[in-house]
Chains A and B, each alone.
Chain A
Amino acid sequence: MKRVKPVFGVLETTLACNLRCRHCGSSAGAPAQGELSDAEVEGVLCQFADLGTVLMAFTGGEPLLRRNVLGLARTVRDLGMELSFLTNGVAVNERIAREIARLEPAAVSVSIDGIGATHDAFRGVDGSFGRAVNALKLLDAAGAPHCMITTVVKSNIGELERIKELALELDVWTWQIQAGIPIGRLGADEVLAPRQVLEVLDFIRSSRAECRGRVEVVPADCMGYYCEPPERDVAWKGCNAGLCLMSVTSTGNVKGCLSMPDSCVEGNVRERTLREIWEDENAFAYNRSFDANAMKGACRDCEHLGNCRGGCKSAMFALTGGANENPLCQRSVIKNLCTQ
Chain B
Amino acid sequence: MRTLPLSINNFYACTVPLEGKAHKPQTSAVVERVWGRLSLALRD
Contact = CB atoms under 8 A, between A and B. Distances in A.
A195 B4 CA distance: 31
A222 B15 contact: no
B15 A237 contact: no
A323 interface: no
Given A7-B41, A145-B17, A220 B11 contact: yes
Interface string B20-44: 0100101100110110011001101
Contacts of A176: 14-15
Contacts of A218: 14-15
Interface of B: 1, 3-19, 21, 24, 26-27, 30-31, 33-34, 37-38, 41-42, 44
A232 interface: yes
Nearest to A222: B11
Given A55-B34, A173-B21, A233 B11 contact: no
B19 to A, nearest CB: 6
A261 interface: no
16 contacts: A82-B33, A84-B16, A104-B30, A144-B27, A145-B16, A173-B31, A176-B15, A216-B17, A233-B1, A235-B7, A244-B6, A244-B42, A257-B10, A258-B12, A259-B11, A314-B11
Contacts of A59: 12
Contacts of B13: 8, 10, 55, 57, 84, 107, 245
Interface in A112-158: 143-145, 147-149
A107 B27 CA distance: 10
Q: Chain B interface secondary structure, helix, strand, loop or mixed?
A: loop
Interface in A218-237: 218, 220-222, 232-237
Interface in A179-214: 212-213
A32 to B, nearest CB: 18
B37 A54 contact: yes
A84 B15 contact: yes
Contacts of B44: 4-5
B36 to A, nearest CB: 10
Most buried by B among A176, A212, A220, A240: A240
Given A82-B37, A143-B27, A173-B21, A237 B14 contact: no
B3 A233 contact: yes
Contact of B12 (A54, A86, A236, A239): A86
Contact of A239 (B9, B18, B21): B9
A176 B6 CA distance: 17
Nearest to B26: A143
A144 B1 CA distance: 22
A132 B16 CA distance: 19
A237 B17 contact: no
B16 A55 contact: yes
Given A82-B37, A106-B30, A143-B27, A149 B15 contact: yes
A64 B44 CA distance: 34
B41 to A, nearest CB: 5
A241 interface: yes
A88 interface: no
B9 A236 contact: yes
Nearest to B44: A4
Contact of B18 (A10, A57, A216, A220): A216
Contacts of A238: 9
Contacts of B27: 143-145, 173
A90 B26 CA distance: 26
B29 to A, nearest CB: 9
